């Protein structure tokens, strides 16, 4: 392993020009390259020629996984080589993913190849970015001797140009879109042919032919021609032999998410198996970072070992995303050379991942606790313009506008976090009434399209200052978590509620639609009625829908916003996802149940190790 | 395939003169508003000052850019169309371009269309050899709903096409037209039609259409349409449809116009002066069950409150303020029940108790 | 599954149970051949839809009852594709453009255009126009309403539009003045009672007058609700008894509990609990304005007369903001918090006054 590391290091320190060139190349490709370029896997990649391999083994690694980072950060710092790539786990044991999850994926893969499946299984691995989906899969494949063939976006395909084309020429776009879909289906079906070809190659003869198709890049075409996309999949399901794996990040923008691509009603017949990954638990992250730090230190004496606090800070600022964490660690340690620790810390703070200057958890705390200076300003002369005593507050320790600026969220998002959590900090209902009123105004301000963008700062300031100002009687004893000293903060439930609402509405329309009923009346009149009649006259599907989502039993899950969790609003979608995967499971009674869909696994604790 | 009449109708223009006795069933579908649009400047009711100016334009072929403003249904569009008809005779459709701001909102669309239209040269002779003014007319209806940017852009267009094209802007509120644009036009205010002018017109339509209408109904019709000729004619047509051969009565008019009977309003006020929230609640629920529109209700309520001398001025002011607020909220789409409750609670506190 | 509501729905104008005069008028209108655009409005469950379908049947005969569900795709100017489900027969098409959100204008324009231009009517039908039925017209954006107004004029010769709305307040004047407004008010308690008894008789059941009255009162003029409640009563207990409990909608019960929780205690913790409950209601697709309305009604029953004005005004204020905003929970919660504060103050003042 050390040897390999050295090799990579050598390649990595080629020169910056090489890096730059390839980085610009990838810039053009718009991050479309996949994780298929792992150095260890270049051996497997069927079409690699020596020269190419050399190139691939050095730079693409660096590019693929850190291209984002590189572009954002100082080029000089990263020029050496990204530790994230260097330290990509090479053994399953090194993997920072929860063991249960790994073994569930492994069992699933086993299942894919062991049993005599008539149809090609389609698998989705979903989860927040940087939680190790791709790495897990690739490592497993390596250990199980499974060949991975990765869907790569055709090199001549330039997303950006396409974008422009689309706006310019309607017809051109459609043709192009079809072409892309064609290429995609070519990729899928070709792999079948290849399989037979490679059956006689040396390697595969030895190992027995095992192969999967991996799709990580979702093209816009898939979303635009959903039907066509599904048809391709159906066709593949019918004729294909190789398991097909999709890796999808949860945090992609709302329009491009998994729900849209694989909604249960249209893809139920595809019997898709979904494994959702959780963000990597902080304890695991901590271990991995420590390991890497020590490893690097052993190679380069000039590096300074980070103290515990720094690592914790890094983890807190890049919740659950190991890739970002390692990058931050690298920057912290490298730039530490010859610098004093304080500035490094500041650097870590100021460069926290995901561009957020201040981690949300702390930011919210600053607003919600609203700490004030303990000094009394004694005024000699009472001025007339002075506010009455009940409106007087001691000076704030934190400036809310600054906090908002550093947190790097939209005012909408920021205020919904505040709204979700402020109640826990109030001790007095009068104060709450005032604050709730303020939030009501905030919502109307946020919803006004014309003024929203120009009022961002004002809205955030209004929301946070309302909380800070009105809370005169803070709650004496916060209902604290036994482990932590701090009040647990929660994610806004509203997004979850909205998602579930939409889902329920769709189900209603699907199951109960008849000529005379409006969805609204179904929800408010028909369904209560059916329940009152003990569901005596409806179909099984309707019955299960009602019992699943239309009973008042307080089954809303509110996730607490752990220090370590991702900040994206979209993360709340995750709950909906995992719910969905149950549904999908329900619909495939025939296939042997892969153990991965065990509901228990989804609710696993972070701390369990 | 479709007659000149349908053609004109689809073009949004005025159907050419026709003889009433030659009506086919298809023609029956034409809204009376179109059917009874004034054909010549002289036919325009009640707008004497404007008519005088338009007449001189017809005579001298000297037309400035025009800006017509005034409440809806007072004859703004009719006037310009009638004038165009007189200027260009039967071929007037080829010489005018009617653009509706709510139809094509984008300034680019407006500009392109205007440009294309202005590019065609206008000779001072019509195909049939008659003399006519050497310009075309662009009519911009609902100009006040154009954005300020669009209006600013129009300013340029008006100047650059001045040789061949005259513009006629039509709007309800002159204050919504930006100053530089308004200053390029001759402004004419159209006033609400007087009671007599309106009744006369309605009567003549009744005669032409051969429908019976009681005087009381006619009076109500005039009242509910508030000086808006188009509204009154539309209502009359709807009434005629509903009643068929029978005489149109007051109640039909009220129902068709969606006006709430006075008794209902009075009842509501009575309930509110009982100083009981419970009776208020039942009153509002009843209104809701009857399906009366809340915005219509507060509109009529305002009249009643204002004319009620038993209410103290200060209380009146408070009520009116609430009515204004409720109206604003209703426009924003607020729930009618809650808003009426709100208004009712203010009435409760400010009406003299019986 | 055939509910009584659907089973005993009158199919023709002649068979409508109430508002007979209006039915006659509609009949005449259809026969006159000069059929205008229509705007049918009235409260929930008053029978708007039933009347519209009866009118359609009067116009075209049984053919309109052969319904098919279709999905139509529309493309917005920004090239976004929308799929809207429609219900159509050979003679009419029904659409709920509020499904399309802010793109409803596109749906309106395209749909009417296609309907008006495809002139594939059977020669037997004698009508030279098709009907476009637009549900929830009061939820159309202003933009769509303006577009609709122009479209209405443009395609008058080949298509008529029937708008169905709960209220005319949110329909712009230009459309109102182009349509024949038909107000469908709720049936009275007596009318509902008659219908309930009639339906029960047809089912071979005997419905006590007292129970019929209670169901009718519970329904608040919503015939659909009354029939459903009656059928639920039947399932729960037969033979009927006068004092039989009418099964209420669970969310109404839930809201009632919620309101007594509010009155019971006014504290931050309690508010947290209420918030959970409000979320729960929202998840069940109960429209927020309905929650607000019911909550107000419940709270008014439980509070002192001097507070009522304040409660009403707060509800109206927050409901309005709710319409302007995007997150109903903010406003519902603000309303509850406002009430709690007011109520607590009232209690505290009462205590000090006693001293």
Q: What is the reported pLDDT for B324?
A: 94
The C-alpha atoms of residue C232 and residue A527 are separated, in whole angstroms, by: 12
Q: Which is more confidently placed, C33 or A318? A: C33
The C-alpha atoms of residue B287 and residue C151 are separated, in whole angstroms, by: 33
Residue B339 touches partner C, C-beta closer than 8 Å: yes
Q: How far is A554 from chain C (nearest CA, A)?
A: 7
Most confident of A215-229, A297-311, A335-349, C252-266: C252-266
The C-alpha atoms of residue A424 and residue C271 are separated, in whole angstroms, by: 10
Q: Report residue A227's pLDDT band, with 50, 70 and 90 as the boundaries.
A: confident
Q: Report residue A97's pLDDT band, with 50, 70 and 90 as the boundaries.
A: confident
Q: What is the reported pLDDT for C130?
A: 84
Dump pLDDT digits (tens) for C228-258.
Answer: 888 888 888 778 888 888 888 888 889 999 9
C177 to chain B: closest CA residue: B231
Crossing angle for the helix pair A411-421 and A493-512, to the nearest 10 degrees: 100
Q: What is the reported pLDDT for C123?
A: 52
Asked whether residue B6 is assigned to any structural domain, the reply reads no
Q: What is the reported pLDDT for C163?
A: 92
C232, A518: Cβ pair inside 8 Å? no
Within 8 A of C330 by CB-CB distance, chain A residues are 419, 436, 439-440, 442-443
Q: Report residue A9's pLDDT band, with 50, 70 and 90 as the boundaries.
A: very low
Asked whether residue B21 is assigned to any structural domain, the reply reads no
Q: What is the reported pLDDT for A193?
A: 55
Q: How far is C119 from chain A (nearest CA, A)?
A: 24
Asked whether residue B16 is assigned to any structural domain, the reply reads no
Q: What is the reported pLDDT for C312?
A: 93
Within 8 A of A165 by CB-CB distance, chain C residues are none
pLDDT of residue A568 exceeding 60, the answer is no
3-state helix, strand, coil in chain C (%, to 5): 60, 10, 30
Q: What is the reported pLDDT for A492?
A: 79
pLDDT of residue C336 exceeding 90, the answer is yes
Q: Number of H helices and number of E strands within chain C?
A: 14, 7
Asked whether residue B5 is assigned to any structural domain, the reply reads no
Q: What is the reported pLDDT for C338?
A: 94
Task: Say whether C164 sits in a helix, a strand or coil.
Answer: strand
C33, B349: Cβ pair inside 8 Å? no
What is the DSSP secondary structure assignment for residue B15, as one 8-state letter? P
- Name the residue with tokens 């809207």: C84
Q: What is the reported pLDDT for B64?
A: 86
User: What burial letters (b/e) apply to A391-420, b meaning 16+ CB within 10 Å?
Assistant: eeeeebebebeebbebbbbbbbbbbbbbbb
Residue B97: give its domain's CATH number. Answer: 3.40.50.300
pLDDT (mean) for A186-192: 70
Q: What is the reported pLDDT for C40?
A: 92
Same domain for B282 and B296: yes
Q: What is the reported pLDDT for C284?
A: 85
CB-CB neighbours of B41 under 10 Å: 23
- Name the residue with tokens 């008053």: C46
Q: What is the reported pLDDT for C19?
A: 86
Same domain for B79 and B204: no
C285, A533: Cβ pair inside 8 Å? no
pLDDT of residue A239 exceeding 70, the answer is yes
CA-to-CA separations, C110 to B108, C9, C164, in angstroms, rounded: 21, 32, 19
pLDDT of residue B4 exceeding 50, the answer is no
A513 to chain C: closest CA residue: C69
Q: What is the reported pLDDT for A474?
A: 78
Nearest to A440 among C67, C222, C318 (CB): C318
Task: Say whether C319 sits in a helix, a strand or coil.
Answer: helix
Q: What is the reported pLDDT for A535?
A: 62
Preferred mutation among A227, A493, A516, A526 to probe C, highest tally of C CBs within 10 A? A516
pLDDT of residue C319 exceeding 90, the answer is yes
Q: Report residue A487's pLDDT band, with 50, 70 and 90 as the boundaries.
A: low
Q: Which is more confidently placed, A605 or A255? A: A255
C135, A518: Cβ pair inside 8 Å? yes
Most confident of A403-407, B302-306, C71-75: B302-306
Average pLDDT of chain C? 85
Task: Say whether C204 sits in a helix, a strand or coil.
Answer: coil
- The residues facing C94 across adjacent strands are C87, C133
Asked whether residue B12 is assigned to any structural domain, the reply reads no
Q: Where do runs of H (alpha helix) occur along chain B?
A: 4-10, 25-28, 32-35, 48-60, 76-88, 92-95, 107-119, 148-160, 179-182, 195-209, 215-225, 229-243, 250-257, 262-272, 277-290, 294-306, 313-331, 336-350
For CA atoms A384, A387, A390, A395, give the dihedral sign. Answer: negative
Q: Which is more confidently placed, A563 or C338? A: C338
> How buried is residue B249: exposed, middle or buried, by Cβ count under 10 Å (0-12/13-18/19+)?
middle
Q: How far is C333 from chain A (nearest CA, A)?
A: 7
The C-alpha atoms of residue A479 and residue A560 are separated, in whole angstroms, by: 13
pLDDT of residue A19 exceeding 50, the answer is no
The C-alpha atoms of residue B55 and residue B256 are separated, in whole angstroms, by: 37
Same domain for B74 and B219: no
pLDDT (mean) for C262-279: 89
> How buried is residue A14: exposed, middle or buried, by Cβ count under 10 Å (0-12/13-18/19+)?
middle
Task: Write the CB contacts of A184 (distance below 8 Å, at least 6 apart in sequence).
Answer: A151, A219, A221, A222, A232
- Of A428, A423, A412, the closest CA to residue A462 belongs to A412
Q: Which is more confidently placed, A80 or A433? A: A433
Most confident of A125-134, B75-84, B146-155: B75-84
Give percent of chain B with pLDDT exceeding 70. 86
Within 8 A of A519 by CB-CB distance, chain C residues are 285
Give percent of chain A with pLDDT exceeding 70. 51
DSSP A300-360: -TTS-PPPHHHHHHHHHHSTT-HHHHHHHHHHHHHTTTTS-HHHHHHHHHHT-GGG-SS-H
**How many residues does this entry show for chain B?**
354
Find the domain containing B36 and state its range.
Answer: 32-189
CB-CB neighbours of B9 under 10 Å: 23
Task: Say whether A275 sits in a helix, a strand or coil.
Answer: strand
pLDDT (mean) for B97-110: 67
Q: What is the reported pLDDT for C339?
A: 94
Q: How many domains does chain B have?
A: 3
Q: Report residue A305's pLDDT band, with 50, 70 and 90 as the boundaries.
A: confident
- Of B30, B72, B102, the closest CA to residue C177 belongs to B72
Q: What is the reported pLDDT for A205?
A: 41
Same domain for B117 and B94: yes
The C-alpha atoms of residue B41 and residue B82 are separated, in whole angstroms, by: 6
Asked whether residue B308 is assigned to any structural domain, the reply reads yes
Q: What is the reported pLDDT for C125?
A: 56
Task: Say whether A401 sits in a helix, a strand or coil.
Answer: helix
Same domain for B109 and B220: no
Q: Report residue A155's pLDDT band, with 50, 70 and 90 as the boundaries.
A: low
Same domain for B42 and B120: yes
Final residue of a structural domain among B189, B212, B246: B189
Residue A552 touches partner C, C-beta closer than 8 Å: yes
Contacts by residues B21-28 (CB-CB < 8 Å, ≥ 24 positions apart): B25/C33, B26/C128, B26/C157, B28/C33, B28/C34
Q: Report residue A405's pLDDT band, with 50, 70 and 90 as the boundaries.
A: confident
Same domain for B216 and B152: no
Q: Report residue C162's pLDDT band, with 50, 70 and 90 as the boundaries.
A: very high
Out of A347-356, B79-88, B238-247, C187-196, least confident range: A347-356
Q: Report residue A597's pLDDT band, with 50, 70 and 90 as the boundaries.
A: very low
Q: What is the reported pLDDT for A423?
A: 85
Out of A322-336, C84-98, C159-173, least confident range: A322-336
pLDDT of residue A105 exceeding 90, the answer is no
Q: What is the reported pLDDT for A317?
A: 65
Out of A112-121, B150-159, C110-119, least confident range: A112-121
Within 8 A of C5 by CB-CB distance, chain A residues are 516
- Of A274, A137, A280, the closest CA to residue A212 belongs to A137
Q: How many CA atoms lie within 13 A of A296 on its CB side?
A: 27
Chains that touch B (3 or more CB pairs under 8 A): C
Task: Write the CB contacts of A540 (distance below 8 Å, at least 6 apart in sequence).
Answer: none
ipTM, two decimals: 0.88
CA-to-CA separations, C251 to A496, A528, C156, C161, C330, in angstroms, rounded: 20, 8, 44, 36, 20
pLDDT of residue B342 exceeding 90, the answer is yes
Q: What is the reported pLDDT for A198?
A: 44
pLDDT of residue B339 exceeding 90, the answer is yes
- Name the residue with tokens 């009563």: C233
Average pLDDT of chain A? 64
A497, C266: Cβ pair inside 8 Å? no
Same domain for B183 and B168: yes
- Of B262, B283, B287, the closest CA to residue B348 belongs to B283
pLDDT of residue A457 exceeding 80, the answer is yes
Most confident of A10-19, A152-161, C109-118: C109-118
Within 8 A of C41 by CB-CB distance, chain B residues are 291, 293
- Of A571, A429, A420, A585, the closest CA to residue C269 belongs to A429
A503 to chain C: closest CA residue: C283
Q: Which of residues 43-102 of B touch C (CB under 8 A)?
A: 100, 102
Same domain for B71 and B43: yes
Final residue of a structural domain among B189, B210, B242: B189
Q: What is the reported pLDDT for A20?
A: 40
User: What burial letters (b/e) apply to A428-447, b meaning 16+ CB within 10 Å?
Assistant: bbbbbbbbbbbbbbbbbbbe
Q: What is the reported pLDDT for A377?
A: 59
Asked whether residue B152 is assigned to any structural domain, the reply reads yes
Most confident of A457-471, A566-580, B139-153: A457-471
A439, C334: Cβ pair inside 8 Å? yes
Q: What is the reported pLDDT for C73?
A: 82
Same domain for B318 and B244: no
Within 8 A of B31 by CB-CB distance, chain C residues are 156, 178
pLDDT (mean) for C148-167: 83
Asked whether residue B218 is assigned to any structural domain, the reply reads yes
Q: Is C135 left (phi over 0), alpha (psi -120 to 50) or beta?
A: beta
Final residue of a structural domain among B165, B189, B213: B189
Q: Number of H helices and number of E strands within chain A?
A: 29, 7
B337, C293: Cβ pair inside 8 Å? yes
Same domain for B43 and B75: yes
Out of A100-109, A205-214, B262-271, B289-298, least confident range: A205-214
C330, A419: Cβ pair inside 8 Å? yes
Q: Which of residues 288-317 of B touch C (CB under 8 A)?
A: 288-296
C178 to chain B: closest CA residue: B234
Q: Which is more confidently placed, C154 or A441? A: A441
- Name the residue with tokens 């849209």: A260
The C-alpha atoms of residue A85 and residue A71 are separated, in whole angstroms, by: 16
Residue B271: give its domain's CATH number. Answer: 1.20.272.10
Same domain for B226 and B113: no
Within 8 A of A433 by CB-CB distance, chain C residues are 334, 337-338, 340-342
Dump pLDDT digits (tens) for B145-164.
Answer: 777 777 887 888 788 877 78
């Amino acid at each position: 392993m050390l040897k390999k590391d050295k090799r990579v290091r050598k390649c990595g320190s080629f020169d910056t020009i090489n890096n730059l060139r390839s980085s610009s190349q990838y810039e053009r490709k718009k991050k479309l390259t996949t994780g298929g370029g792992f150095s260890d896997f270049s051996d497997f990649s069927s079409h690699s020629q020596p020269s190419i391999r050399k190139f691939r083994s050095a730079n693409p690694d660096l590019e693929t996984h850190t291209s984002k980072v590189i572009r954002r950060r100082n080029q000089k710092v990263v020029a050496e080589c990204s530790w994230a790539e260097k330290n990509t786990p090479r053994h399953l044991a090194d993997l920072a993913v929860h063991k249960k999850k790994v073994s569930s994926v492994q069992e699933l893969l086993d299942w894919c190849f062991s049993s005599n499946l008539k149809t090609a299984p389609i698998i989705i691995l979903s989860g927040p970015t940087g939680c190790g989906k791709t790495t897990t899969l690739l490592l497993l494949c390596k250990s199980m001797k499974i060949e991975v063939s990765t869907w790569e976006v055709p090199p001549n395909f330039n997303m950006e140009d396409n974008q422009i084309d689309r706006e310019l020429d309607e017809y051109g776009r459609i043709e192009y879109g079809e072409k892309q879909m064609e290429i995609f289906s070519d990729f899928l079906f070709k792999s079948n042919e290849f399989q037979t070809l490679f059956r006689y190659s040396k390697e595969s003869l030895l190992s027995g032919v095992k192969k999967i198709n991996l799709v990580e890049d979702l093209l816009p075409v898939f979303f635009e021609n959903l039907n066509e996309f599904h048809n391709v999949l159906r066709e593949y399901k019918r004729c294909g032999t190789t398991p097909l794996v999709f890796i999808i990040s949860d945090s992609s923008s709302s329009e491009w998410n998994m729900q849209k691509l694989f909604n249960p009603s249209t893809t139920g017949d595809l019997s898709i198996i979904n494994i959702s990954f959780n963000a990597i638990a902080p304890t695991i992250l901590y271990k991995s970072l420590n390991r890497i730090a020590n490893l690097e230190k052993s190679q380069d004496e000039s590096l300074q070992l980070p103290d515990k606090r720094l690592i914790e800070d890094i983890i807190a600022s890049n919740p659950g995303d190991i890739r970002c964490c390692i990058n931050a660690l690298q920057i912290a340690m490298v730039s530490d050379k010859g610098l004093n620790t304080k500035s490094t810390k500041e650097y870590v703070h100021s460069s926290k991942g995901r561009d957020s200057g201040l981690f949300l958890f702390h930011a919210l705390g600053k607003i919600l606790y609203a700490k004030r200076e303990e000094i009394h300003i004694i005024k000699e002369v009472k001025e007339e313009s002075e506010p009455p005593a009940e409106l007087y507050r001691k000076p704030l320790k934190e400036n809310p506008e600054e906090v908002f600026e550093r947190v790097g969220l939209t005012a909408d998002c920021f205020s919904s976090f505040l709204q979700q959590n402020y109640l826990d900090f109030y001790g007095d209902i009068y104060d709450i009434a005032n604050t709730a009123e303020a939030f009501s105004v905030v919502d109307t301000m946020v919803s006004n399209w014309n003024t929203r963008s120009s009022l961002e700062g004002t809205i955030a300031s209004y929301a946070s200052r309302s909380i800070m100002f009105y809370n005169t009687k803070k709650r004496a004893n916060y209902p604290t978590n036994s482990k932590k000293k701090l009040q647990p903060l929660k994610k806004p439930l509203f997004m979850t509620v909205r998602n579930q609402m939409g889902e329920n509405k769709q189900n209603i329309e699907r199951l109960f639609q008849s000529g005379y009923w409006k969805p609204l009346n179904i929800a408010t009149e028909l369904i209560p009625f059916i329940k009152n009649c003990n569901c005596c006259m409806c179909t099984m599907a309707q019955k299960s829908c009602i019992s699943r989502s239309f009973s008042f039993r307080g089954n809303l899950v509110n996730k607490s916003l752990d220090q370590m969790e991702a900040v994206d609003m979209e993360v709340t979608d995750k709950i909906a996802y995992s719910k969905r995967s149950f549904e999908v499971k329900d619909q495939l009674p025939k296939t042997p149940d892969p153990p991965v869909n065990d509901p228990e696994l989804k609710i696993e604790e972070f701390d369990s190790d | 395939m479709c007659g000149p009449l349908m053609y004109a109708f689809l073009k949004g223009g005025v159907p050419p003169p026709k003889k009433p006795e030659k009506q086919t069933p298809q023609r029956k579908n034409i809204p009376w508003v179109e059917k009874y649009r004034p054909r010549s400047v002289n036919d325009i009711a009640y707008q004497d000052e404007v008519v005088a100016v338009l007449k001189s334009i017809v005579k001298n072929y000297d037309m400035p850019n025009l800006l017509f403003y005034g409440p809806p249904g007072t004859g703004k569009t009719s006037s310009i169309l009638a004038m165009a008809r007189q200027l260009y005779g039967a071929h007037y459709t080829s010489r005018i371009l009617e653009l509706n701001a709510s139809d094509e909102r984008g300034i680019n669309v407006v500009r392109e269309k205007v440009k294309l239209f202005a590019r065609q040269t206008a000779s001072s002779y019509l195909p049939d050899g008659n003399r006519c003014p050497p310009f075309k007319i662009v009519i911009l209806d609902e100009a006040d709903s154009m954005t300020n940017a669009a209006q600013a852009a129009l300013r340029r267009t008006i100047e650059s096409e001045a040789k061949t094209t005259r513009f006629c802007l039509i709007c309800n509120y002159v204050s919504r037209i930006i100053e530089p644009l308004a200053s390029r036009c001759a402004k004419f205010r159209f006033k609400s039609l007087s009671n007599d002018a309106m009744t006369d017109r309605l009567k003549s339509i009744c005669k032409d259409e051969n429908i019976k209408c009681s005087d009381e109904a006619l009076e109500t019709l005039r009242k509910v349409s508030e000086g808006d000729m188009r509204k009154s004619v539309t209502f009359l047509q709807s009434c005629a449809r509903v009643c068929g051969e029978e005489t149109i009565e007051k109640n039909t008019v009220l129902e068709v116009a969606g006006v709430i009977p006075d008794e209902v309003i009075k009842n509501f006020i009575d309930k509110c002066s009982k100083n009981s929230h419970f009776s208020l609640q039942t009153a509002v629920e009843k209104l809701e069950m009857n399906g009366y529109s809340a915005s219509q209700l507060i509109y009529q309520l305002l009249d009643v409150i204002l004319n009620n001398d038993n209410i103290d001025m200060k209380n009146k002011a408070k009520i009116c303020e609430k009515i204004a607020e409720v109206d604003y909220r209703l426009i924003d789409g607020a729930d009618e029940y809650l808003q009426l409750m709100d208004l009712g609670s203010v009435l409760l506190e400010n009406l003299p108790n019986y | 599954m055939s509910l009584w509501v659907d089973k005993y729905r009158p199919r023709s104008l002649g068979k409508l149970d109430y508002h007979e005069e209006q039915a006659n008028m509609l009949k005449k209108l259809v026969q006159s051949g000069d059929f205008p655009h229509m705007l049918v409005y009235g409260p929930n469950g008053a029978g708007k839809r039933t009347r519209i379908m009866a009118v359609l049947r009067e116009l075209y005969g049984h053919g309109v009852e052969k319904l098919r569900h279709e999905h139509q795709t529309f493309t917005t100017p920004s090239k976004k594709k929308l799929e809207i489900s429609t219900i159509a027969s050979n003679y009419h098409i029904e659409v709920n453009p509020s499904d399309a959100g802010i793109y409803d204008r596109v749906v309106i324009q395209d749909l009417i255009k296609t309907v008006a231009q495809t002139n594939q009517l059977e020669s037997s039908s004698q009508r030279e126009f098709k009907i476009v039925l637009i549900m929830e017209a009061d939820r159309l954006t202003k933009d769509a309403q303006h577009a609709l107004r122009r479209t209405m004029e443009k395609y008058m010769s080949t298509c008529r539009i029937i708008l169905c709305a709960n209220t005319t307040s949110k329909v712009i004047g230009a459309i109102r003045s182009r349509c024949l407004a038909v107000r469908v008010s709720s049936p009275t308690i007596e009318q509902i009672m008659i219908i309930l008894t009639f339906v029960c008789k047809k089912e071979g059941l005997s419905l006590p007058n007292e129970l019929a009255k209670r169901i009718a009162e519970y329904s608040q003029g919503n015939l659909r609700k009354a029939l459903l409640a009656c059928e639920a009563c039947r399932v729960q207990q037969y033979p009927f008894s006068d004092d039989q409990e009418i099964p209420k909608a669970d969310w109404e019960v839930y809201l009632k509990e919620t309101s007594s929780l509010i009155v019971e205690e006014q504290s931050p913790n309690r508010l947290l609990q209420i918030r959970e409950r409000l979320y729960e209601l929202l998840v069940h697709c109960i429209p927020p304005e309905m929650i607000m309305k019911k909550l107000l009604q419940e709270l008014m029953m439980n509070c002192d007369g001097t507070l009522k004005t304040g409660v009403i005004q707060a509800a109206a204020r927050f409901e309005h903001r709710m319409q302007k905003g995007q997150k109903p929970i903010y406003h519902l919660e603000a309303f509850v918090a406002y009430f709690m504060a007011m109520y607590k103050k009232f209690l505290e003042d009462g205590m000090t006054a006693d001293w």
